[in-house]
Chain A
Amino acid sequence: MDLAQAIVQPGVDWHALSPDIVLAAAACVVLIADLFLPEESKWLAMPLSAAGILGTLAAVVSLAGEHRTTLGGAVEVDTFALLFKGLFCVIGLIVLAMSFGYFSSGRYYQGEYYFLMLCSLLGGVVISSARDLVTLFIALELISIPAIIMTALRKADVKSNEAALKFFLFSVLSTAVMLYGMSLVYGITGSTKLNEIRGAIATSADEPLVVLSVIFVVIGFAFKISAVPFHFWAPDTYEGAPSPVAAFLSTASKIGGFVGLLVLMFRAFPEVADTWRPAFAVLATLTMTVANLIALRQQHIIRLLAYSGIAQSGYVLVTLALIDPSRPEANAQALESAIVYLAIYGIMDLGAFAAAVAFARKTGTYFISDYSGLWSRSPVLATLMAGFLLSLAGTPPMAGAWAKLFVFAAAINSEVYWLAAVMGVNAVIAAWYYLAVVKRMFLDAPEAEDPIEVPYLLRATMGVAALALLAVFIYPAFITSLADKSLL
C-alpha cells in the first residue's frame, strides 16, 4: 500500500475539541503573561487561569448532550467524556482557590505553577475523550510530567525534592511497563483504536500474550492510581509536595488514571474480562484493606488523606472487578457506580485537603494532634472539615454515602457478595480514623485558644463544595442521571 494513501488526513471537528483547545490556549497565555508581569502582580496568573478553566467549562457545557467522534475515532466526545471534562474543570477551580494564598505569599514560582497546573489539567481533559492508545498515553503523561515539577516547586525543601524524585522514578517505571504492554497490544491487534482492538481481541481471545499485555497495562495504571502494592510513592510524595499539589495529585491525577483505566477496560479489553477480573478483585481487596489499616496509625493529616485516598481507590477498583460483557445491565451499573464514586470523591477529598491547607496556613502544622479543640477556635473550619471527613467515611448527610452505596449495590447486582462484604468491613474500619480526627476537633479540649481565620476565598470554596455534597445527598439524581447516560 502506498504510504500516502495509508495516512488519511482525518476531518477535524473543532467544536468537539474546543474544551481542550481553550484550556491549552489558556495555559500558553498564562505562561506568556507571566513573562511580562512585574513581580508584585504575578498573582494575576491565578485569575487568568481561573478564567481559562471557566472558558473550558463553557465549551464543555456547549457540547452537552452531543455525541461526536473526530480525529478518526481517536477522540470521542460523549456524556462520559463531558462529565469528566467538567469534573476536571471543577477540580481545577478548587485547586486554584487552594493555591492562591499558598503561592502568592511570595516563596514560590507562581506563574510557572499555574501554567504547569493547567497543563496537567489539560491531560485530564484530553484523557476523558481519548479513545485511542496513543492519545490515552500522551494524555496520561501530560497529567504526570507537569505534576512532577509541581511537586518539586519547594526547591529549598529536601522533602519536596525527595517527593518529586520518588514520584518521578515510580512514574517513569510505570510508564515503561504500561508502554510495553501497549506495544504488545498493538503488535497483536495491529491497531491503536480501542474499538478495533476489542474486535481483534475477540477473535484471538485465547492468546496468552493478550492477557500478558493487559496485565502490563493494568500494572502501569496501578502505579498511577496508587493501588496496593504499587502505592509506596504516594504518601511520601503527598507529604513532601506543596499541599495544594498533593490535593491535585490525590484527585485530578488519580481520577485521570481511573478514566483511562475505565475506558480501556470497558472499551478495549472486555472480551478477555474473565482473565483479568480476578486480578482487579485482588487489587481492590488489598488496596482497601492495607490502606485502611495503615491509615489507622497516621499522625499527619496529609499522610492520613493519602492513605484514605488509596483506600478510596480500592472502592472504585471494586467496580472494575465487576465487568462482565455477557451481562450488559450489570456492566452498565458497574460503570455508573464508578462514575458516581469518582465525581463525589473528587469534591469531598479536595474539600478535606482544602480544610487541611486552611488550617496549616494559620498554624503551620499538619499534625492531627494539633487539631484538638478546633471547633472552639474556628467553628466554621471544624464543621466543614468534619463534613468532608464524614462524607469520605460515607455517612449521611453528605454525598459520600451515595458513592459507597452505589458501588455496594453494583457488587451485589453482579453477585460478587464477598467483595461487597470486604467493602462493608472496610467502610467500618475507615469510619474509625475519620472519626478520630472529628473527635480531636470536637471532643477534645483545645491546646491553644487563638481563633483561626480562614481566608475568604478558601472559605467560600469549601462552603460551596460542602453545599454541593449536601445537595447531592438530598437529591442524588443530579449526578446519577448524568452517570446513567454515560456509556462506554
Chain B
Amino acid sequence: MNWVDDWALSLGTFLPAVGAAVLMFMPSGSEKLVKAVGTLFAFLALVAGVVVLARFDFSNAGALQLQVNESWIPQINARYHIGIDGISLPLFVLSLLVSFLCTIYMWWHIPEPGKPKAFFAFVLLLETGMTGCFVALDLILFFIFWELVLVPMYFMIGIWGGPRRAYAAVKFFLYTLFGSLFMLLGFLALYFTSDPRTFDMIELTRQGFSGSSDLFQNLVFLGLFLGFAIKVPMWPFHTWLPDAHTEAPTVGSVLLAAIMLKMGTYGFIRISLPILPDAAVTFAPMIGILAVIAIIYGALCCLAQTDLKRMIAFSSVGHMGFVMLGIATLTDIGINGAIFGMVAHGLITGMLFFLAGSMHERFHTRDIPALGGILQQMPKFGSLLVYSAIASLGLPGLAGFWGEMLALLGAYNPHPELNETLFRVLMVGGGIGTVLTAGYFMWMLQRVILGKVPDKFASGHGIFDVVRLEWYAWAPLLVLIIAAGLYPKLVLGVTDGAVQTLLGALGS
C-alpha cells in the first residue's frame, strides 16, 4: 500500500486541476459530457480523500502522516512537502466534499451566461488551490496554492455574478493580493533568518525563533497576520467579503464561505502559532479584541441587512470571529473549538448559501421584506432553511453549537501568559454576540418563513419545492451538521491530538 500512501494526498489535490485542464481542451458542444467530466474529476478527488481517511492513523493524529517530501526548487530550497495531521484532515476532506457537492448542484443550475465548461474548470482549479493549502508543509508551496485561488474566484464572481459583479471581483482580487504580499514578505523574512535556510514549516518550528529579537518576531507575525486576517476576514479587513459573497454565483459563495475563509484561520494555526509562539502570545489579546468586535459588529450588521445573501455573509464575519477568539485563547479547548467552528461553519454556511441561491432561482429576489410564507408554499425548503438557520445560531445538538461554546469556554481560562480578566470580558462580549446572532436569525426566519405569501408569489408560478438534485447536493451536509452536533468527537477526536502537539510548541 506504499504507493497509495505516497500518492493519495497529491491525487486529492491535483486531480481537480487535471480535470480543469482536460475540460479546457474538450469541445464545448456537449454540455452533458462537460458536466460529467467535471463531476467525475471532483468525485475522483473525493475518492482520494476517502482513501486518505482510510489510511490515516487516527490513534496518532498528532503526527504528520502520508508525508511526501521531494525536491522542487533546489535553488531556494523550496520543497514539495505535503502531509496531513488531525488539524488539516477535517479541512482537507471538507474541501473535497463540498467541491464535489457543488459540482452536483451545478447539474441543476448554472447561472447566466451559462458556459458550463469554463464554470466547471474554474471550480476545479479553485478546488486544487484550496485543498493544496491544507496539505502544504512548505511556505512557498502554501503561498502558491494560496494565490492560485485568486484567479478562478475572480472569474467566477466576475462572469457568473450578480449586477455589481465586476466591482466585487476586482475588490476581492486586489484586497487579497495586497494582504498576501505582506504574508510573502513574512515568509521570506523567516526563510532568510532560518539556519540552514528553509521554507519547511516543520523545520522552521523546530528551529524556533525565540533567539531573534522581539521586534523581528512581531514584525513577521504582523506580516502574516495581515495576509491571514484579510482572508478570514477579521474586522476591520472584512469589507471585501459582503460584496464578494453577495455578487458571487451560488456555488462561488458556497466555496468561498465553506472553505476559502478557512485558509486564513488555518494559516494562523498551522504557521503563525507554532513558528512564532512568543509573538502569538504578544498579539493574542489584540486578536481576541478584534474577534469580539467582529462577532458583535457582524451581528449588528446582520440585523440591518435586507439581502438574504448579504446577511449570511455578515453572519460569516461573526462566526469567523468565534474561530479567531478560540485561536486567540491559545488553549487546547479554544483551538479545538476553533477547528470545530471552522468545520461547522463550512457545513452550515455552505448550506445556507445553497439555500439562498436556490431561493433566488425561485423568487428572483433575495430581499427579505419581499419574501414571506415560504413554509406554506415550499414546506420542505422552508424546513431546511429553519434547520440551517438554527444550526448557524448555535442550537445545542447541531454543529454550530460546539465551536462557539468551546471558544467561549477557552476564553474563560486562557493561556497562562494571557490576561485572564481581559479574556473573561471578551467571553462576555462573545456571549452577547450569540444572543444577537439568535436574534437576527429568528427575525429573518419570522419574516421569510412565516407570515402569508406575498401577492406577487401567490400564483405559485415557477415556485417548486426542493428538487432531487438539490437533495443529492445537500443531504451530506444536512447529515453531517447533525452528526457533528450530536457526536462532536467526530471532529474533536481527530483534532485534539494535533492540537496537543501544537501547544507543545507554545510551551503550555
Distance, CA A443 to CA B75, complexed state (A): 39
Interface of B is mostly: helix
Contacts of A477 in B (CB 8 A): 71-75
Complex partner residue of A397 from B148, B155, B165, B184, CB under 8 angstroms:
B148
A102 interfacial contact with B, CB 8 Å: no
Given the interface pairs A477-B74, A480-B73, A481-B74, the reply to whether A435 lies near B188 with Cβ below 8 Å is no
Residues of B within 8 A of A (CB-CB), count: 39
| B188 contacts A408, C-beta separation under 8 Å | yes
| B147 contacts A427, C-beta separation under 8 Å | no
| B159 contacts A476, C-beta separation under 8 Å | no
B158 interfacial contact with A, CB 8 Å: yes
Residue numbers of B with Cβ under 8 A of A are 24, 28, 71-76, 113, 118, 125, 129, 140, 143-144, 147-148, 150-151, 154-155, 158-159, 165-166, 169-170, 173-174, 177-178, 181-182, 184-185, 188-189, 191-192
- Distance of A293 from chain B, by nearest CB (Å): 15
Contacts of B74 in A (CB 8 A): 477, 480-481
Contacts of B118 in A (CB 8 A): 379
Contacts of B189 in A (CB 8 A): 412
Given the interface pairs A428-B178, A431-B177, the reply to whether A439 lies near B170 with Cβ below 8 Å is yes
Chain A interface size, as a band, is: 35 or more
| A396 contacts B148, C-beta separation under 8 Å | yes
- Distance of B183 from chain A, by nearest CB (Å): 11
A390 interfacial contact with B, CB 8 Å: yes
Seed contacts A336-B75, A435-B170, A435-B173; 14 additional CB < 8 Å A-B pairs:
A395-B147, A396-B150, A401-B147, A408-B184, A409-B191, A413-B188, A417-B185, A424-B181, A424-B184, A431-B174, A431-B177, A432-B174, A442-B158, A477-B75
- The 7 tightest CB contacts between A and B, nearest first, are A424-B181, A480-B75, A412-B188, A396-B148, A443-B158, A484-B75, A396-B147
Complex partner residue of A395 from B125, B151, B166, CB under 8 angstroms:
B151
Complex partner residue of A443 from B71, B140, B165, CB under 8 angstroms:
B165
Distance, CA A395 to CA B155, complexed state (A): 13
Per-position contact with B for A413-441: 1 when CB-CB < 8 Å, else 0?
Answer: 10001001100100110011001000100
Distance, CA A424 to CA B151, complexed state (A): 18
Contacts of B71 in A (CB 8 A): 477
A74 interfacial contact with B, CB 8 Å: no
A483 interfacial contact with B, CB 8 Å: yes
A405 interfacial contact with B, CB 8 Å: yes
| B188 contacts A409, C-beta separation under 8 Å | yes
Contacts of A376 in B (CB 8 A): 113
A475 interfacial contact with B, CB 8 Å: yes
- Distance of B13 from chain A, by nearest CB (Å): 13
**Residue in B closest to A484 when the chains form the complex, CB atoms:** B75
| A405 contacts B184, C-beta separation under 8 Å | yes
Contacts of B144 in A (CB 8 A): 396, 401
Distance, CA A427 to CA B28, complexed state (A): 35
Given the interface pairs A420-B185, A431-B177, A435-B154, the reply to whether A409 lies near B76 with Cβ below 8 Å is yes
Distance, CA A336 to CA B144, complexed state (A): 20
Contacts of B125 in A (CB 8 A): 397
Distance, CA A77 to CA B126, complexed state (A): 45
Of A376, A405, A444, chain B has the most CB atoms within 10 Å of the CB of A405
| A442 contacts B159, C-beta separation under 8 Å | yes
- Distance of A398 from chain B, by nearest CB (Å): 9
Given the interface pairs A395-B147, A443-B159, the reply to whether A483 lies near B75 with Cβ below 8 Å is yes
| A396 contacts B75, C-beta separation under 8 Å | no
| B75 contacts A439, C-beta separation under 8 Å | no
| B72 contacts A439, C-beta separation under 8 Å | no
Contacts of B182 in A (CB 8 A): 424
| A439 contacts B173, C-beta separation under 8 Å | no
Distance, CA A428 to CA B182, complexed state (A): 12
Contacts of A421 in B (CB 8 A): 185
| A428 contacts B150, C-beta separation under 8 Å | no
Complex partner residue of A432 from B170, B185, B191, CB under 8 angstroms:
B170
Contacts of A435 in B (CB 8 A): 154, 170, 173-174
Contacts of B159 in A (CB 8 A): 442-443
Complex partner residue of B72 from A427, A431, A475, CB under 8 angstroms:
A475
Contacts of B151 in A (CB 8 A): 390, 395-397
Contacts of A409 in B (CB 8 A): 76, 188, 191
| B192 contacts A413, C-beta separation under 8 Å | yes
Q: List 5 A-B contacts (CB under 8 A).
A: A405-B140, A409-B76, A409-B188, A435-B174, A477-B73
- Distance of A371 from chain B, by nearest CB (Å): 14
Contacts of A428 in B (CB 8 A): 174, 177-178, 181
Per-position contact with B for A304-339: 1 when CB-CB < 8 Å, else 0?
Answer: 000000000000000000000000000000001000
Distance, CA A484 to CA B125, complexed state (A): 31
Contacts of B166 in A (CB 8 A): 439, 443-444
Contacts of A406 in B (CB 8 A): 76
- Distance of B248 from chain A, by nearest CB (Å): 13
| B170 contacts A395, C-beta separation under 8 Å | no
- Distance of B125 from chain A, by nearest CB (Å): 8
**Residue in A closest to B178 when the chains form the complex, CB atoms:** A428
Contacts of A395 in B (CB 8 A): 147, 150-151, 177
Distance, CA A396 to CA B129, complexed state (A): 10
**Residue in A closest to B125 when the chains form the complex, CB atoms:** A397
